[in-house]
Amino acid sequence: MIKSCILLILFFSFSISADILYEFENLEDEKRFYNLIKEVRCPKCTSGSLASSNAPVSEDLKQKIIELIKKGKTDKEIKVFLTSRFGNDVLYNPGFNQNTYFLWIAPILFLIVGLMMFVIRKK
């Protein structure tokens, strides 16, 4: 019985190893990388982040981000690089500029209108 158990274990034993996907010089860089890829949209996907995508262009972009981090670029510089290549849509968090100001101001406008209505109704 024991013999056959050992045989069975040997038969089904296999080695499990994980390759290191991305290599970093320190933990801080690794953290930055994983935060960044959550904030960047995969240019080829409907609305997935780089972190969620294995599309070839996403893999390339992840490698590029690692390369830029290793070169000592800041998160802001990396985002500027990405938006200059792939447009503002590549970031989930749209910056405040002439194309997006309405997006940012609209909720405040609606709130003011709502408050005005409320006040007038009360009167």
Partner 1 sequence: MKVILRATLITLPILFFTFFYLYINEDKYYPGADFRTFEMPIFEINNLYDGSNISNNDLRGTYLINVWASWCITCRVEHGFLSRLSNEGIPIIGLNYKDKKDDAISWITKFGDPYELIIHDLKGELALDMGVTGAPETFLLHNGNVIAQYRGEVNKMIWKDVFIPVIEKEEIFNND
Q: State the residues that interact with partner 1 by CB under 8 A.
A: 43-44, 56-57, 60-61, 64, 84-87, 113, 116-117, 120
- Alpha carbon distance 119, 123 (integer Å): 6
* Rounded Cα gap, residues 19 and 17, in angstroms: 7
Rounded to a whole number of angstroms, the minimum distance from the CB of residue 44 to partner 1 is 5
Q: With contact defined as beta carbons under 8 Å apart, do 53 and 86 qualify?
A: no
How far is Cα 63 from Cα 68, in angstroms, rounded to an integer? 9
Q: Which is nearer to partner 1, 63 or 74 (CB)?
A: 63
Looking at beta carbons only, is 31 or 70 nearer to partner 1?
Answer: 70
* Residue 100 Cβ vs partner 1, minimum distance, rounded to whole Å: 15
